[in-house]
Amino acid sequence: MLGRKLGMSRVYADGRKVTSVTLVETDSCHVVQRKTVERDGYAALQLGIGRRKRATKPLRGHLKKVGLGHVPARVIEVRGEFEDDVTPGKKLEVGMFQPGDRVDVVGWTKGRGFAGGMKRHNWHGGPRTHGSNHHRRVGSVGPGTSPGRIWKGSRMPGHYGNEQQTIRNLRVVKVDTERQLLYLKGSVPGPVGGFLAIKKMAP
């Protein structure tokens, strides 16, 4: 199912033990479309979460078949085989998870724009004394006479962040069915308010 990251908190066990958790809101997660091997060539579910005011006409036509009544803020497709009762328009409840379950969480890391080599690749930098003008710069990158060009794949400054990242084997600490909240042990990628895909691991 899909969720929205609310931030981190803590849970107390036995009155003393502290566990750091991430709060994930799973309200308004609906099935938008179900794809089958016979019709589409592969099995998958399209899930939508959140609300937004504006949408393109193709997306509105796509959602009109389901009859949601609103436009999801994010639509994500998840491949795999699912139970027969998971039909388009169905709302997924957080009650499908139980404390102690193990889940995989897919998120998108914070976008940091154009970053230098020290921030992007953890370079240690150059000398900071004796008139050095090589503090945070890249330095020499091209080999000498052979091949006379920069090797492909060299670590350089560039776009950093906003990449899909999967955190595996997180434990579900608590499930709040009234507020549709999921408490996951540890941290998950992405900013506060970012969308997450949560997949329950097989026992």
Structural domains of the chain, count: 1
**Does any domain span residue 29?**
yes
CATH code for position 90: 2.40.30.10
Query: Residue 17: pLDDT above 80?
Result: yes
Question: Looking at this protein, which amino acid is placed at residue 79?
Answer: R
Instruction: Indicate the burial class of 148 (C-beta count within 10 angstroms; 0-12, 13-18, 19 or more).
Output: exposed
**Does any domain span residue 54?**
yes
What pTM does this model have?
A: 0.82
pLDDT at 25: 94
- Cβ partners under 8 Å of residue 178, min gap 6: none
For 33-58, write each residue's pLDDT tens digit: 889 899 899 999 899 998 888 888 88
- Whether the upstream peptide bond of residue 203 has omega within 30° of 0, thus cis, is no
Q: Is residue 184 within 8 Å of 170, Cβ to Cβ?
A: yes
Token look-up 């000498």 returns 144
For 137-163, write each residue's pLDDT tens digit: 988 888 888 888 888 889 999 999 999
- Cβ partners under 8 Å of residue 97, min gap 6: 103, 172, 175, 182, 200
**Does any domain span residue 6?**
yes
Q: What is the mean pLDDT of residues 68-92?
A: 85
For 100-122, write each residue's pLDDT tens digit: 999 999 999 999 999 999 999 99
